[in-house]
Structure 1
Amino acid sequence: MYTIFGRFSQVSIALALLAPLGSLQAQNFPISPDQKATASQVAQTGVPLSELAPNAPDEYTVKRGDTLWAISGMFLKSPWRWPELWGMNIDEIRNPHRIYPGQQLYLDKSNGRARLRTRGSASMDGQPGDTVRVSPRTRYESLSDAAVPTLSPQAIEPFLAEALIVDEATFAMAPRIVATQEGRVLLSRGDRAYARGTYSSKEGGKPLSDAKGEPIDYRVFRNATPLKDPTTGEILGYEAQFVGKAELIRGESVENVKDKDGKVTTETVPATINIVVSKEEMRVGDRLVAEPPREVLSYVPRAPATAIEGQIVSIYGSAVRLAGGNQVVVLNRGNRDGLERGHVMAVLLSGAVVTDRTDSPRTRIRLPNERNGLLIVFRTFEKVSYALLLQVDEGVKVGDRFKNPN
């Protein structure tokens, strides 16, 4: 809750209202040096009119439900050039991750160059001005982030919770479900089970603990499937299958007990867990991974600053051969290759091998690769990344290539 009195500039009011949000979440919205450099350059010169979308509006009011991808595509021919759209108004929109509903955007086309500007709110008498008088009152502001996202959250949120890339050794040493109540074979939401993080014959296992500061929320995974590079055969990582979530009720322990002869022995007591989310039925042997801290993420669409090429490794969570728009694919490039969240890549349709019937030897020729759509990277690991297919002309399959969009 904030209480605001008296006379303030519009900027002061905005800062007063948004500062708590920024201090809590700004660390989740990094602006890369490349984005800053691009924006600074464009801010000095503007964008050529030829780069504008054919039907770019002269003005637009940002609405709830908009996305950065849609807004940038409204003004520019290539939506991934959002940093340039931001650069058109770098003095007023200092953070491309924070465009809010209600902001008015105006397109200035003077001198053969385009710049995007915002216009201040009207003053108390209805005329535009730099200051407004705010009557003493109590104003309530939610701490939820109302900034416009790059993509529709519903399109990728499930994959942020489910996707997991691990190395084989880490997955093998993860805590696992070891028993169920009443000998049940399958577990679902509301069931109780028992788990252990320690191993008798292996080093590195850590007991599941309910001590203060230890995680109590876990994701449950199964079947770490190797992801292989389609060309080299290198195992890039292991993709674990998400099956649900569990809550730790009691940690592991060891108890001393006496047998009938009075001899003291020790017994291992596994941790107690409750199944709280069930995507698929769980069973003994499934692995537990601590729930990571929730992040509020934004993905500024942009092309990589350096040339990156690669192939699609798999279609996530689907047995179909061809993927379409709004499906998630796994790429054989990751952090080590320079891929970042928000990078937009062009998907290529592999050229077919055909016979040249106009040539007497009937030479076999390969047609050039053709652009088949766009994808945006939304989660990266060391050697692989997850990406959402944005625009697809024909079905995308494993082995199809991708590269910089420009």
Structure 2
Amino acid sequence: MPAARPAQIVAACLTLALTSAWAQTSSLPVTADQRRVADQVAAAGVPLSELSPTAPDQHVVKPGDTLWDISGLFLKTPWRWPELWGMNRDQIRNPHLIYPGQVLFLVKTDGRARLQFGQRVGGGAGDTVKLSPQMRVSPLSGNAIPPISLQLIQPFLTEAVVFDTDQLATAPRVVAAQEGHVMLGKGELAYARGDFGGVTDFRVFRNARPLRDPTTKEILGYEAPYVGTADLIRPAADRKTPDGKTEIVPATLMIKDVKQEVGIGDRLAPAPQRNLERYVPHAPDQAMAGQIVSVYGEAVNAGQNQIVALNRGKRDGVERGHVFALWRDGDRVTDKTTARPEAIKLPDERHGVLFVFEVYERVSYALIISVKEPVKPGDRFTQP
């Protein structure tokens, strides 16, 4: 094995130091294995064979760029971008804060490639690019470019939800509407009963429907159609009537936002806190396969930038950021070139890429990054 170059040693030390610093601020120990991975990633980069044939020597970051977009300029497989960037994705959430106007320079040494930061010396497009290590560990800034386009999944971080059990059946429910209305819109009042548990910020759902495994028919969870959001503005307060009887007074909620009108019988669930820093695209570390359970929403088939549910979740090792390959079943045809026609099955063909952005115990949600043909329930996926 060739000796590491001074630049590689410096890069490895930088990554290891950043790993340790991040871990210390997070009260997490740095294991020997994590140190080894940090060293390997910092020193290795990607093989030149993984570079796109049209990979540029440099790229100036533009508003609207994502790490996936930029990596797609340089790599055949953009989900391998942690290696290209010299990241240890297990320990450092966001080691490179990339901003519009920064210059990225592709460095090729010893049959491998790495991206480094550069800085223009001068003001023109043809000016010299000065390379310098610029690695920082800090929370995701609103000005830094994200790993993927968050606008594609942002609505589903609130809307798409799977419950492990049919817990909405016993959740607080809307029992009446303002001024006798049947349906409610934004800014109107709803009245609800149930145990609110001290929560004031709620999402509103219709009755949940089971998600079943396409093959085993096992119930993987319960998907609830999203209706909108509501704030609790007045708690329930049963009171006594003049004749001494108890009068039930439901809680009052203000409808904050709606995707569809809120109705009597709709259920309430606490709105979760979301962490957007963990959306780091990467391939699974082990072989994995499964099927599409359903297409989110009312569509029968799905295309690019639509959401699908997968029949694999936390218990199967699925993580946020996992990238999967979509497969189309080969057609069954008749070979008529022989003396006696024979039934044959054509090979399965890979035709798309999935990106997992939300994971539950037995099911996950994924964004279709690219696809050649419509995706339907029962379609197969594997590690890329």
Q: Give the structure-1-normalised TM-score.
A: 0.77
What residue in structure 1 maps to residue 116 of structure 2?
Answer: 117
Letter in 2 for 1:324: G
1:97, 1:32 → 2: CA distance?
A: 22
Partner of 1:45: 44
Matches within 5 A, 1:16-95: 40-87=39-86, 95=94
Q: Which has the higher contact order (CA 8 A, sep 6+)?
A: 1
Q: 1:149 aligns with which of 122, 146, 150?
A: 146
Q: Which residue of structure 2 lines up, in the alignment, with residue 222 of structure 1?
A: 206
Which deviations, in whole Å up to 9, do the C-alpha atoms of 1:135-177 show, x marking residues without a partner? xxxxxxx995322112212211111110110134411111110
CA distance in 2, matches of 1:33, 1:308: 27
Partner Cα separation in structure 2 for residue 392 and residue 33 of structure 1? 40
Partners of 1:103 and 1:32 lie apart in 2 by: 33
**Residues 97, 310 of structure 1: alpha-carbon distance in 2 compared, 3 angstrom cutoff:** farther
Output the CA distance in 1 between the equivalents of 2:160 and 2:309. Answer: 10
* 1:402 maps to amino acid: F
Say whether residues 1:336 and 2:315 are aligned partners: yes
Q: Match for 1:192: what amino acid? A: L
**Structure 2 residue 363 is the aligned partner of structure 1 residue 384:** yes
Task: Give the aligned residue type for 1:166.
Answer: F
Matched, 1:281 2:281: no
Larger Rg: 1
Distance 1:178 1:189 in 2: 17
Task: Find the residue that maps to 2:208 and give its secondary structure.
Answer: strand
Once the 2 structures are TM-superposed, how far is the Cα of residue 59 of structure 1 from its aligned partner?
Answer: 1.4
Aligned with residue 223 of structure 2, among 231, 236, 239:
239
Question: Does the 8 Å contact 1:83/1:96 carry over to 2?
Answer: no
1:172–1:360 Cα change, 3 Å: farther
**Alpha-carbon offset, residue 187 of structure 1:** 1.2
TM superposition shift of 1:108: 1.5
Aligned equivalent of 2:252: 272
CA contact (8 A) 1:97 1:298 kept: no
CA contact (8 A) 2:327 2:352 kept: yes
Structure 2 residue runs without a partner (length 5+): 1-21, 123-127, 133-138
- Contact 1:341–1:378 under 8 Å retained in 2: yes
Once residues 235 and 87 of structure 2 are traced to their aligned partners in structure 1, the CA distance between those partners, rounded to angstroms, is 55
Contact 1:106/1:119 (CA < 8 Å) preserved in 2? yes
- AA paired with 1:287? R
Give the aligned partner of residue 163 of structure 1: 160
Number of residue equivalences: 347
Determine if the alignment matches structure 1 residue 191 to structure 2 residue 165.
Answer: no
Q: Aligned residue for 1:290?
A: 270
Kindly tell me: are residues 39 and 87 of structure 1, through their superposed partners in 2, closer, same or farther at Cα, counting changes over 3 Å?
farther
* Residue type at the aligned position of 1:232: T
Q: Secondary structure at the match of 2:263?
A: coil
CA-CA distance at 1:122 after TM superposition: 5.7
Letter aligned with residue 218 of structure 1: F
**What letter corresponds to residue 328 of structure 1 in structure 2?**
I
- Compared CA separation, residues 35 and 362, structure 1 to 2 (3 A): farther
Distance 1:183 1:112 in 2: 73
Tell whether the 8 Å contact from 2:61 to 2:101 is kept in structure 1 after alignment. Answer: yes
1:205-246 CA distances to partner (integer Å, 9 max, x unpaired)?
x2x36xxxx321211000211111001000100100001111
Deviations 1:285-307 (A, max 9, x none): 10011111243334211110011
Counterpart of 1:364 (choices 343, 347, 355) is 343
Q: 2:372, 2:378 → 1: CA distance? A: 17
1:83 maps to a residue whose letter is P
Q: Is the 8 A contact 2:61 2:102 kept in 1?
A: yes
Q: For residues 229 and 245 of structure 1, do their structure 2 counterparts lie closer, same or farther at Cα, with a shift above 3 Å needed? A: same
Shift in Å at residue 106 of structure 1? 1.2
SS at match of 2:69: helix
C-alpha contact (below 8 Å) 1:100/1:147 kept by paired residues: yes
| 1:182 corresponds to | 179
- In the TM superposition, what is the alpha-carbon distance from 1:404 to its structure 2 partner? 0.7
Structure 1's 38 and 343: CA in aligned 2 closer, same or farther, altered over 3 A? farther
1:382 alignment partner AA? E
